Amino acid sequence: MRVSVDAAGNLRGIYSGESVSGERLLIGSHLDTVPNAGPYDGVLGVALGIALMEALDGQRFTYEIEIVGFSEESGQRFGVPFLGSRAWVGRIDETLLESKDSSDISLREAISQYGLDPSNLHDAVVTPDTFAFLEYHIERGPVLESLHKPLGVVEAIVGRSRFTVEFIGEPSNSGTTPMHLRRDALSGAAEWIGMVEQEAKSVNGLFATVEKVEVFPGATGVIPSNVTMSVDMRHPSDKTLNGTIARLLEKARHVAQKRRLRFDVHRNLDHQAVAMHPGLVHIAERALRLAGCPSSRLVSGYGHDAMIMAEKIPSALIFVRSPDGLSQHPGMQISPADVELAISSGLHFLKEITGFSRKTTVSAYA
Ligand SMILES: [Zn+2]
């Protein structure tokens, strides 16, 4: 393979096609990981790409194949994730280049210190002849394990909203304030937290979590006057997610009104859901079946490089089972049999994608 490192620190290797068609399939994932997390997060997808090229044993296709190890996916240093894949879709701007790490070193300086030239970042941008991206990634969760399936095809990466909810009552004495005269913010919050869980269980595919609760004044003998909660909600459909959030906030207002509390909400983050390319989902499923692997479609509750790449090129994401469903855990393992199936499915994917028309993808993404 012809190996290079681009200006964003992405490690790239090109496996030539049988002729110079100019068309290129991209396969890869990220090389970095979260401190103290699993050894397979990201790098499994890069190693699988290289293993696939090895398994080809010299066989060539009409298109060339590029294997990529994306740099800085987890956003540990600059607080912004997906730096490597952002460079591919041309989303590293001046503001991002000026963002600083904890030692006050900017991203621009870090790239230079690594021996690369940040003014060459545009060279990393994906070219129109790249017709698809395939990412293998260890599942960061227990779904495949619970289904007893080694591999799964991701249909969509969930949309995500984070917001802060506050109930405001009045501090008063726990021993002297009769129940009907209280404005207990914590009791109101508790009632609403129950509703969040109920709603999450009743809407298919919804994840809703009250992650942090702060109670004031938090003193013995005092009825709580303020409760601040951070809430995380995710769903593969933005419409369902926004509808559910609106419904839950309405219920919160109702709880507050009934209990004579004030209620406040602050939206902190809104990420839209990203669908993987339906044509590639179909090909990936077929490749899994041909490899003798029962296919299973799933949704990713977490962002991956494929989510960024999907902005510019048709993308597919295949999860490999994480035994015991471990995620962000140093004890994360992988089954050699699952890896063998992943390689075998990848070989089928390379054959099946030959018919995937570049024309349709170019017009869809132009
Ligand atoms: Zn990852």
Percent of the chain past pLDDT 70, that is, above it, reads 97
Residue 176 CA, ligand 1 centroid: distance in Å:
54
Q: Which residue has the tokens 């990393």?
A: 124
Residue 88 CA, ligand 1 centroid: distance in Å:
17
Residue 86 CA, ligand 1 centroid: distance in Å:
15
Give the relative orientation of helices 336-352 and 43-55 as an angle to the nearest 10 degrees.
Answer: 60
The better pLDDT of the pair 173, 302 is held by 173
Residue 132 CA, ligand 1 centroid: distance in Å:
19
Grade residue 186 by pLDDT with cuts at 50, 70 and 90.
Answer: very high
Residue 298 CA, ligand 1 centroid: distance in Å:
16
Comparing 33-37, 194-198, 237-241, 267-271, the range with the smallest average pLDDT is 33-37
Q: How far apart are CA 324 and CA 342, in angstroms?
A: 18
Q: Which residues contact 77 (CB under 8 A, 6 or more apart)?
A: 101, 110
Residue 302 CA, ligand 1 centroid: distance in Å:
9
Grade residue 296 by pLDDT with cuts at 50, 70 and 90.
Answer: confident
* pLDDT in the model for residue 332: 87
Residue 123 CA, ligand 1 centroid: distance in Å:
24
pTM of the model: 0.88
State the chain's maximal CA–CA distance in angstroms: 86
Residue 56 CA, ligand 1 centroid: distance in Å:
26
Q: What is the mean pLDDT of residues 297-320?
A: 95
Burial class (CB in 10 A: 0-12, 13-18, 19+), 179: exposed
Q: Taking Cα atoms as reference points, which of 321, 326, 331 lies closest to residue 137?
A: 321
Describe the chain by its helix, strand, coil percentages, rounded to 5: 35, 25, 35
Residue 186 CA, ligand 1 centroid: distance in Å:
37
* pLDDT in the model for residue 150: 97
Q: How far apart are CA 285 and CA 276, in angstroms?
A: 13
Grade residue 363 by pLDDT with cuts at 50, 70 and 90.
Answer: very low
Residue 41 CA, ligand 1 centroid: distance in Å:
5
Q: What is the mean pLDDT of residues 73-85?
A: 91
Q: Which residue has the tokens 């401190």?
A: 35
Grade residue 362 by pLDDT with cuts at 50, 70 and 90.
Answer: very low
* pLDDT in the model for residue 325: 85
Q: How far apart are CA 86 and CA 70, in angstroms?
A: 10
Grade residue 358 by pLDDT with cuts at 50, 70 and 90.
Answer: low
